[in-house]
Amino acid sequence: MPLKPGTHTDIAGSMAEAIQTAFNSHYKEIIGKDPPPSNKQFELLCIAVAEGVIKHLKEHSTDFKVKTTFEGSKIYDGVVTIE
């Protein structure tokens, strides 16, 4: 499944939604009060960050290596492909 940055009209299951969730889960412990309600500027920030991260990963996909061991087999070295 390809990485999904999220859009203003479709944020469900996206990286932007995960960023919003992580932000809200840490807000109280760091700031000391409940997080503010979401707004368009915050949504824009989360979508932009998600798009930037995914774009960077795509542009540098050959820098990632996966090493996997299957039961009783040798380690497999492969390159990650990000769609």
β-pairing, 75-79 vs 65-69, is antiparallel
What is the dihedral sign for C-alpha 50, 54, 60, 65? positive
Q: What is the pLDDT of residues 4-61, one digit of tens each?
A: 999 999 999 999 999 999 999 999 999 999 999 989 999 999 999 999 999 999 898 8
Task: State the pTM of this model.
Answer: 0.73
Q: What is the DSSP string of 35-65?
A: PPPP-HHHHHHHHHHHHHHHHHHHHTGGG-E
